[in-house]
Amino acid sequence: MPSREQKNEYFTTGQISKQTGLTVRTLRYYDQIGLLKPSNYGQASQRMYNKLDLIKLQKIQTLKYLGLTLIDIKQMVTESHIQEQDLRSSLKMQREIILQKTAHLQFVFKAIDEAIEKLIHTGEEHVDWMALAELIHAVHIEKDWVEQYHTANRLQTRIELYEKCGVNKQGWHRWFFEHLGNRSNIRILEIGCGDGTLWSRNADRISESWKITLTDLSPGMLEEARKNIRDTTGQIKFVVADVQSIPFHNEEFDIVIANHMLYHVPDIPKAVSEIYRVMKPKALFYASTMSKSHLHEIDLIAQSFDPEIKVLDPIMKRFELYNGQELLLKNFSEVKSIRYKDHLIVDEVQPLLSYITSTPMNARNILVNTKLEQFIAFIQNKLNLDGTIRITMDSGFFLARK
């Protein structure tokens, strides 16, 4: 963290322009659109920037170099500023973005190279139009790249709260994975794998005899999973798929996993029917979720500060621990519920603040600038009074047998 003296050392627009090569006009425009507002104003409303403003400016220019629009940059800088209060964490975030961008460019480069090779051998009069469609798709993924980064980053932020503040040090992913058992020579399907955290956190426990297929509706999230898992054996397949229309044969899998995702599916009964279809006789289905009381204190804290703030997504009520069994029993004759025992003890502001601003609700849009500073002080005051904040965790999974 920069010291108070560093934060209070100010630079004028002209000084920054001279040192960085950016024009005064550019800096003024960044101020006008709310991308980079000065921390202070001097005489005659002269813009004055401190060291934290310079860290933000450096990040803006890096993201601009990568080809992001100013709208995307504003969203990314505003959101990440909550987690990044020093130059080191800011640079680490930029490094991660550049690595992801480079990986995507290499993917497109390879696709173009393969298309050129095919043209050399077949000629343009025998163009493989399906291959051309795949090339277009590879380039098109770039449009989703920024949102993919946000989604993966927010997901990891929420996981970090559980791991940092959870009392059960085994952790959800290790606990859940051990319930898969240790049978040999089985085929496993995960629906909606996200960034592959379940598998990356249990890489040391994956049986060499397992054949694993990970699916997600988002090509970007699948790429994130592929990067995180780093499977060099070819044991794990990554497939873009919609759980409402699973692209696999009947009775193909011994285990199917839907880890905290069924409540997102538009047609849950159809999804469950499709899952049942691809399961072998006596196969097992693991469907994890939460109850309505899960993390409810977080909503109470946010709304006691501002009643308009919403943190927890009500979508989870569509498939939760108190109604999920009924939904599954329409297909499965045997369904049991297994609970994960844990709760959170929060003793510092940052993990809780990061979680609150990572959900898809309106908190990250309301908690900006002065409002954000007031909210940080509000949470810190609660911690000063109570020492810690206890937060309920109520999660688990349904185990259904075909």
Is residue 194 within 8 Å of residue 155, measured between CB atoms? Answer: yes
Q: Which of 67, 66, 80, 73 is nearest to 34 (CA)?
A: 73
Least-confidence region, from 68-72, 144-148, 206-210: 144-148
Q: Can you tell me the distance from the alpha carbon of 391 to that of 345, in angstroms, rounded to the nearest whole number?
A: 6
Residue 138 and residue 43 in one domain: no
The partner residues of 62 in beta bridges, in order of sequence, read: none
Q: Looking at the whole model, is its pTM more than 0.85? A: no
Least confident among 196-200, 203-207, 359-363:
359-363
Picking from 145, 151, 152, 153, the residue whose alpha carbon sits closest to that of residue 69 is 145
The one-letter amino acid at 157: T
CA-to-CA dists, residue 42 to 9, 39, 336, angstroms:
12, 10, 66
Chain segment 65-74, per-residue pLDDT in tens? 777 778 877 8
pLDDT at residue number 381? 96
Query: Whole-number mean pLDDT of the chain?
Result: 85
Would you say residue 392 has pLDDT above 50?
yes
Domain end call among 18, 49, 65? 65
The whole-number average pLDDT for the span 199-227 is: 91
How far apart CA 302 and CA 353 sit, in angstroms, is 10
- The answer on 150 and 45 residing in a single domain is no
Instruction: Give the C-alpha separation, 155 to 133, whole Å.
Output: 31
Per-residue model confidence (pLDDT) at position 118: 73
Burial degree of 108 (CB within 10 A; 0-12, 13-18, 19+): middle
More confident call, 330 vs 130: 330
DSSP conformational letter for 205? G
Q: Which of 133, 155, 177 is the last residue of a domain?
A: 155
Shortest CA distance to 330 belongs to which of 238, 267, 251? 267
The predicted structure's pLDDT at residue 332: 97
Checking DSSP bridges between strand 187-190 and strand 40-41, what pairing results, if any? Answer: unpaired
pLDDT at 60: 85
Dig out the tokens for 287 from the structure.
Answer: 């469907």
Q: What is the CATH number of the domain that holds 274?
A: 3.40.50.150
Last residue of a domain, one of 102, 137, 155: 155
CA dihedral 245, 247, 223, 147 (to 10 degrees): -20
pLDDT at 1: 42
pLDDT average, residue stretch 369-385 = 92
What distance separates the 2 farthest-apart alpha carbons in the chain?
A: 78
Q: Residues 43, 178: one domain?
A: no
Tokens of 186: 């089985």
Residue 5 predicted with pLDDT over 50: no
Domain presence at residue 75: no
- Amino acid 41: pLDDT: 86
Spatial separation of the C-alpha atoms in residues 312 and 274, rounded to whole Å = 29
Q: Are 288 and 397 in contact (CB under 8 A)?
A: yes
Same domain, 345 and 385: yes
Residue 216 has pLDDT above 80, yes or no: yes
131 shares a domain with 164: no
30-44, 118-132, 157-171, 236-250, range with greatest mean pLDDT: 236-250
For residue 350, the surrounding DSSP H or E stretch is helix 349-356
Summarize pLDDT for 190-202 with one digit per residue, the tens: 999 998 999 999 9
CA dist 280 and 185 (Å) reads 14
- As for how many domains the chain has, the answer is 3
pLDDT tens column, 292-305? 999 999 999 999 99
Structure tokens at 76: 């990314």
Identify the burial level of 308 via C-beta atoms within 10 angstroms of its C-beta, where 0-12 means exposed, 13-18 middle and 19 or more buried.
exposed
pLDDT at residue 269 is higher than 50: yes
Measured distance CA(31)–CA(20) in Å, rounded: 17
Are 284 and 135 members of one domain?
no
Locate 177 and state its tokens: 């994975």
Annotate 277-328 with DSSP letters as a single string: HHEEEEEEEEEEEE-TTTTHHHHHHHHHH-TT---S-GGGGGS-TTTHHHHH
Phi, psi of 365, deg, nearest 5: -85, -30
Q: Give the range with max mean pLDDT: 95-99, 130-134, 300-304.
A: 300-304
In a shared domain, residues 247 and 366: yes
Its domain, for residue 138, covers 89-155
Q: Is the pLDDT of residue 149 over 90?
A: no
- Residues 273, 383 within the same domain: yes
β-strands 279-290, 253-259: how paired? parallel
